[in-house]
A = this chain, B = another copy of it.
């Protein structure tokens, strides 16, 4: 019967007179450790043959079949529903491949990176799924530098709204095509002055969604005056109300919104302002249960397909450390509800 000799992190810490965290840091975050200590600990680790994750894997003689994902706060049932839907899809997709999903919390990207260190040392995860990607996102770089398998749900947004080439795999939904479809639908219904209600500049997702509206408007009648048909506000119903009020003043008769929260506020404002016909020419984004319940049209993200694609790419990286990064952009669908033809 085979017998394996092994050394634990506790043995090492005891022998060297340092904490387990220091040993973890030397392995995962060497910049946090004084150079003198780092050299001493690294030498001892090498001599001992200690290997944190491979040891655990050897014990069980298979990989852990566990992928990690940060759980972002639930939100109000409007924002947050896409990530909740994605989590359900990911757990199901993981399950169909014999994998499970381990959830953890973090309040910032830095804290999420600390969590990676802990999870890799203690929880023996095979890989990670990144969500809520954004400009200057340090998480992908941290994981890539260490050769840890991961796939992002969301593009890196460093190169603006263009589809970026990244050195890691990602899956995303083409928001730009979604708002372009929405705008073209309103143009086909007879609207000419279609406003866009979005989030302030700096949001990659928000810029992408505005770009689709801009594409469709520019293709139809040129770019002149489009700045005056754009309103940026807080991602709340109040922001949407303010946007509708401003854009009504600009002569808008229809409204494409970066999210359902904004769209709900816009349509409520229009109903209360004796413009109920215009309330049905508001299109939201994310097709939340709330949008469905109040009969609001919205752009629907294929979150289950996105989760299945993320898991497919992640399995590729888990099975082959040299797998090339892949980028998958999925097309959303326009969910039309109660939209009326417009006569101007």
List, in ascending order, chain B residues with CB within 8 A of A119's CB.
100
Contacting pair B6 A59 (CB below 8 A): yes
Residues of A within 8 A of B (CB): 1-12, 15, 48, 55-56, 58-62, 64-66, 71, 73-74, 76-78, 81, 84-85, 87-88, 91-92, 95, 100-105, 119, 122-124, 264, 288-290, 292-294
Contacting pair B59 A8 (CB below 8 A): yes
Contacting pair B60 A122 (CB below 8 A): yes
Q: Which of B12, B64, B289 contacts A290 (CB 8 A)?
A: B289
Copies in the complex: 2
Contacting pair B11 A2 (CB below 8 A): yes
New A-B pairs, 4, CB < 8 Å, besides A4-B5, A84-B84, A102-B102: A1-B7, A1-B12, A4-B6, A74-B85
List, in ascending order, chain B residues with CB within 8 A of A55's CB.
59
Contacting pair A123 B65 (CB below 8 A): yes
Residue of B nearest to A10 (CB): B61
Known A62-B122, A77-B77; judge A3-B6 contact (CB<8 A).
yes
List, in ascending order, chain B residues with CB within 8 A of A9's CB.
60-61
List, in ascending order, chain B residues with CB within 8 A of A87's CB.
71, 103
CA distance A12 to B102 in the complex (A): 29
Contacting pair B3 A15 (CB below 8 A): no
Shortest Cβ gap from A22 to chain B (Å): 15
7 pairs from A and B in contact (CB 8 Å cutoff): A2-B7, A8-B60, A64-B123, A77-B290, A91-B103, A100-B123, A294-B294
Contacting pair A84 B91 (CB below 8 A): no
Contacting pair B101 A103 (CB below 8 A): yes
- What are the 5 A-B residue pairs with the smallest beta carbon separation, nearest first? A77-B289, A95-B105, A10-B61, A290-B293, A74-B88
Shortest Cβ gap from A108 to chain B (Å): 14
